[in-house]
Structure 1
């Protein structure tokens, strides 16, 4: 009798394991097909692909898979489980208000096409490329590789500036020119030096712009706008141009520097 009961228990256990394996296999297959179809549908509809949509679909699929194995494998009535889960979720939701807020905000941002992976944006003074939009946050990576993780609920309430190609590639280099200098000649010289020192890193389709905006105690303030390709080290390229133009005869030099130089020369003599 004990052998018969043992065989019955063993066969029942094996049956449950097989049933569980079949359900998991079907769920994995459905997930693969549905996620692939979702990505194609998003592309066709012009809605950006982000992990938040894929994660929601996966959660729904595995929730149904769990309900399918509750009674056959665990002996739990699905209706009772759902009812208990509903009561529990109300209690838990009070402690997960921020998480729920981030999820809802993330869906709103993506469906409204406010931010999409690949966008160049400035958020709260931080400028970079949107890498991904997840359940809780949006990840933005700047030119130096630093990744800023911004909660979706915060992003939904923060002013966002969408950058243009001009501003994304811009590497400004400021300098002062002596008053009375030929600014057209200075512009040509700066552009030549930029091409010579930073040519390999300059973005095609953009010329190096040299703009003069005001007169100051040091002279005429100018800014050279280098437009660099993605992946360039902006600090290195700016350093190369600064070193080159610092030796130009038209560069403004403080009077104190001239005085110091005279003192050094007098001491040497």
Structure 2
């Protein structure tokens, strides 16, 4: 052990460690400055911000830092290293083809402004807000907080539908009203019940719409469109409104609906009896 330690040039080792530390420090400083400048440049150019741009720049900076430290610290010629890397790049690309595909697809999606952080989208039935576009994937978060991670290469080949804030916050609750009721009064009461039942879960930017769009054996079909804030339990708020409406006198009752359906059937079968 003493012979091995004696063969080590302490001053050379210290010099290499210091050089490596300086390279790492400079790379960290350059990374911070360039990342900050890139974000400001993206804002000025109107290009959507996403971590994929910053990550690509960081990778380039650290690649140059590695090349700068190869010969002084490790005694490896940068040209030889690049040549060796070129020989093995085919093998590496085969193993990383999915990663490369995701990176290229992510850059294409961002540069083409197909998706941007903050967009409200529906992808393969999942609706939410685009949170970020990373090296490999795009993250979409729904109003309940669930995050869907979609590979960029998959998203690049999948139909995407942009949503509005109205549609994203919408929680429809269907109901039936007995025939002959004052629908305007029913709508006002439903809105009042929604305010009491849902309270702070309602989005203050939207009003609760109550629309009537059909007639049937159960009565007049209506839909209350609740608009809920992010993080709300949609099924829980819908349940609260249904419980509140179930006690209203204008809600179509099964027995009344059955009698109405039977009367309608009899009238259609024996039209002469009405004359």
Q: State the SS of the aligned residue for 1:174.
A: strand
Q: State the TM-score, normalizing by the size of structure 1.
A: 0.89
Q: Does 1:106 align with 2:106?
A: yes
Q: Does 1:30 align with 2:30?
A: yes
- Once the two structures are superposed, residues 90-134 of structure 1 have per-residue CA deviations (whole angstroms, 9 ceiling, x without a partner) of 122122222111111100111111111121111010001111111
- Once the two structures are superposed, residues 12-54 of structure 1 have per-residue CA deviations (whole angstroms, 9 ceiling, x without a partner) of 1111111111111110110110011111111111112111111
Alignment match, 1:51:
51
Alignment match, 2:187:
187
Distance 1:149 1:55 in 2: 18
- Once the two structures are superposed, residues 239-269 of structure 1 have per-residue CA deviations (whole angstroms, 9 ceiling, x without a partner) of 221111111111112239989xxxxxxxxxx
Alignment match, 1:267:
none
The CA RMSD over aligned residues, in Å, is 2.1
Deviates more, 1:26-35 or 1:163-172: 163-172
Distance 1:194 1:106 in 2: 42
Shift of 1:181: 2.4
Q: Does 1:251 align with 2:243?
A: no
Alignment match, 1:227:
227
- Once the two structures are superposed, residues 39-94 of structure 1 have per-residue CA deviations (whole angstroms, 9 ceiling, x without a partner) of 11111111121111111011000000000011111111101110111121112212
Q: State the TM-score, normalizing by the size of structure 2.
A: 0.87
Q: State the SS of the aligned residue for 2:128.
A: strand
In the TM superposition, 1:75-114 aligns within 5 A as 75-114=75-114
Shift of 1:8: 7.1
Deviates more, 1:59-68 or 1:141-150: 141-150
Unaligned runs of 5+ in 1: 260-269
Unaligned runs of 5+ in 2: 260-275
